[in-house]
Amino acid sequence: MILALLAVVQIGSKAFTESTIVAEMASQLARSAGVAATHRRELGGSRILWDALLAGQIDAYPEYTGTLAQELLPGPAAALRDRVERKGLVMSRSLGFSDSYAIGMKRAAAEKLGIRTLEDVARHPELRLGFSNEFMDRKDGWPALRAAYALPQRNVRGLEHDVAVRALASGAIDAPDLYTTDAEIAAYDLVALEDVRRFFPDYEAVLLWRKDLPAEAADVLRRLEGRISAAQMIEMNARVKLRHEPEGLVAADFLAATLGVRGAARPEGRARRIAARTVEHLQLVAISLVAAIIVAVPLGIAAARRPRAGQALLGAVGLVQTIPSLALLVFMIPLLGIGARPAIAALFLYSLLPIVRNTAAGLSGIAPEIRDSADALGLPRLARLRLVELPIASPSILAGIQTAAVIDVGTATLGALIGAGGYGQPILTGIRLADVGLILEGAVPAAVLAVLAQAVFELLGRAVIPRGLRL
């Protein structure tokens, strides 16, 4: 027990409801047994969680045997456990339920068109398909499914899974991918089309953890083996997705009813959640912005001193701005892992352009006669820069820093996609659950923080900009 108490077990979850519920069960169960554990929520798709587990950035997470056999460790299903062990990992026995992929339709629409199986979809090229983004690229996803059933549909949308199901309910699409434990199947009167060619493998839910996990923690995780039925999982998904109950409460109720573990949930009020997210968000913004100022202001000075090289420099930092923020975050994961570090690195890169450009513009715009006057006074180059040029350029430089700060406040919300926390966490969860209250819990403080950042820099300008240069 001593080893378990010294290290915090990091349990990750994917960005969908079922995974967060199971991961919440595992973390609560561990804490109830005296094992320090934390739940790193909604870290993305299978590949991100898998790579994080192999790299030791998390210690355990829920997965499915079909995903392992088809996507992560391709090969015969019978030898799957051996392949997992060769990676330095342990795979639990089935948690008790299977959650397979399926393609779904509204029951009334399927009956009207005479569609019962996936083969029938091939006769209706007009169907509008919308699949989860991960399903669009998986080896057991859309490309292979299209080939297996010779499906003619080509204009297929990529959506977040829960958004795709809601799009089906609203009539925006005709068929999304479903999980067979989705609560919406019954709630929206959907039908899962029969997979007559048995394209989809078996997706038994399991827990994966590293072999170096303390034995006490591994024993705790094994207590979930065979304990969750498909019916129980569907009901828990419904409580979270349809009745908007907190995942922690749903997991705690299950543990109390099934394993006799009580008091595992940690209820947290909205004010406390916002305060914690504010600290995380401020850390992301402050660290990245300070680092950017330290690097970008000297680069801006160099760009002003050497105009030709400066154009190339501005082009290089401008190129970073053309990279979509989500793509840049994903690029950072192999280098820096998950969590705050890749988010800070991405925010740092996004902050460079406005500061470099405004510093260079402010210095280049100084009238030649002012420089001549400084030379006539016999000021050394560094003294001229410090005493004359930077003060004159300070309004432009400060405006660039202010722009970078506002950009950082907004872009930092995407850090939640890779476990960096901040205001993006409630926004991400709110989108997944269609909970406007949760979305506003992140969006409103982010907007307030952006306004406060502008106000702070206005006050800072009065302190650092010479009075004669203030507008």
3-class state of residue 107 by DSSP: helix
Q: Taking 80 as the threshold, does the pLDDT of residue 5 lie above it?
A: no
Number of structural domains (the chain) is: 3
Element (H, E) at 21: helix 17-32
- pLDDT at position 310: 86
Mark whether 242 and 123 lie in a shared domain. Answer: no
Categorize the per-residue pLDDT at 1 as very low, low, confident or very high, splitting at 50, 70 and 90. Answer: very low
- The tens digit of pLDDT for each residue in 344-360 reads 999 999 999 999 999 99
Q: What is the pLDDT of residue 469?
A: 58
Distance of CA 470 to the CA centre of its chain: 41
Same domain, 276 and 412: yes
Q: Over the range 245-281, which residues count as b (16 or more CB within 10 Å of their CB) and which as e?
A: eebbebbbbbbeebeebeebbeeeeeeeebeebbebb
pLDDT at residue 173 above 60?
A: yes
What integer pLDDT is reported at residue 374 of this predicted model? 62
In a domain, 264, yes or no: no
Domain end point (choices 219, 236, 259): 259
The Cα diameter of the chain in Å comes to 90
User: Kind and range of the H or E element at 104?
Assistant: strand 101-106
Residue 83 lies in a domain: yes
Strands 37-40 vs 177-179: parallel, antiparallel or unpaired: unpaired
Report helix, strand or coil for 292. Answer: helix
Q: Are 122 and 170 in contact (CB under 8 A)?
A: no
How is the beta sheet containing 89-91 ordered, strand by strand? 37-40, 9-12, 60-64, 205-210, 89-91
Are residue 309 and residue 441 in the same domain, yes or no?
yes
227 & 277 share domain: no
> Within a domain: residue 197?
no
Other C-beta atoms lying within 10 Å of the C-beta of residue 146: 17
**What is the spatial distance between Cα 401 and Cα 78, in angstroms, rounded to a whole number?**
57
pLDDT tens-digit readout, 408-420: 999 999 888 888 8
Positive or negative torsion for Cα 87, 90, 93, 96: negative
> Quick one: which H or E segment has residue 130?
strand 130-132
Could you tell me the pLDDT band of residue 327, with boundaries at 50, 70 and 90? confident
User: What pLDDT was estimated at residue 387?
Assistant: 77
| Whether 401 and 287 share a structural domain | yes
Residues 115 and 222 in one domain: no
Are 79 and 149 in a shared domain? no
Q: Would you say residue 471 has pLDDT above 60?
A: no
Checking if the pLDDT of 3 tops 50, the result is no
At 263 the three-state DSSP class reads coil
In-domain check, residue 265: no
Among candidate residues 210, 240, 259, the one where a domain is terminated: 259
> What's 236's domain CATH number?
3.40.190.10
Whether residues 89 and 105 share a domain: the answer is no
Residues paired with 149 in a beta bridge:
none
Residue 218 pLDDT exceeds 60: yes
How far, in Å, are 237, 249, 336 from residue 422 at the CA level? Answer: 25, 22, 18
Task: Look at 446 and 370; give whichever has higher pLDDT.
Answer: 446
Q: What is the 3 state secondary structure string of 73-136?
A: CCCCHHHHHHHHHHCCEEECCCCCCECCEEEEEEHHHHHHHCCCEHHHHCCCCCCCEEEEHHHH
The three-class DSSP label of residue 32 is helix
Residue 305 lies in a domain: yes
Structure confidence at residue 181 (pLDDT): 94
Specify which residues 39 forms β-bridges with: 11
**Averaged pLDDT, 197-208:** 94
439 in the same domain as 331: yes
| CATH code assigned at 152 | 3.40.190.120
Each residue of 213-237: b (16+ CB within 10 Å) or e?
Answer: bbebbbebbebbeeebeeebbbebb
Rounded CA separation 135/143 (Å): 9
Domain boundaries, position 126:
101-192
Angle, helix 325-336 to helix 46-54, in steps of 10 degrees: 20
Positive/negative CA dihedral, 302, 304, 308, 312: positive
88 and 106 together in one domain: no
Is residue 405 domain-resident? Answer: yes
User: Average of pLDDT values for 4-14?
Assistant: 79
Q: Indicate whether 274 and 421 sit together in one domain.
A: yes
The full DSSP string for 357-385 is HHHHHHHHTS-HHHHHHHHHTT--HHHHI
Q: Decide which of 382 and 452 is more confident.
A: 452
429 vs 418: CA distance, rounded Å:
13
Domain boundary among 192, 215, 244: 192
Question: What DSSP string runs through 300-346?
Answer: HHHHHHSHHHHHHHHHHHHHHHTS-HHHHHHHHHHHH-SSHHHHHHH
In a domain, 280, yes or no: yes
What proportion of the chain, given as a percentage, has pLDDT over 70? 94
Token pair for 356: 């470099």
pLDDT exceeds 50 at position 2: no
Give me the percent of the chain exceeding a pLDDT of 90: 62
Q: What is the pLDDT of residue 468?
A: 57
pLDDT of 405: 95
Residues 426 and 452 reside in one and the same domain = yes
Q: Is the pLDDT reported for residue 217 higher than 90?
A: yes
**pLDDT, averaged across the chain:** 89
pLDDT tens for each residue of 27-68:
999 999 999 999 999 988 899 999 999 999 999 999 999 999
pTM of the predicted model, to two decimals?
0.81
Report pLDDT digits (tens) over 267-282. 667 888 899 999 999 9
Q: What is the DSSP letter of 78?
A: G
Q: Is the pLDDT of residue 429 over 80?
A: yes
Residue 358, in any domain of the structure: yes
In this prediction, residues 236-257 reach a mean pLDDT of 93
pLDDT band, very low/low/confident/very high, at 325 (cuts 50, 70, 90): confident
- Of the pLDDT bands very low, low, confident and very high (cuts 50, 70, 90), residue 207 is very high
Provide the residue type at 434 as one letter. Answer: A
Q: 58-72, 136-150, 156-170, 185-199 — which is least confidently predicted?
A: 156-170
Please report which confidence band the pLDDT of residue 215 belongs to, taking 50, 70 and 90 as the band edges. very high
Q: Is the pLDDT of residue 7 over 60?
A: yes
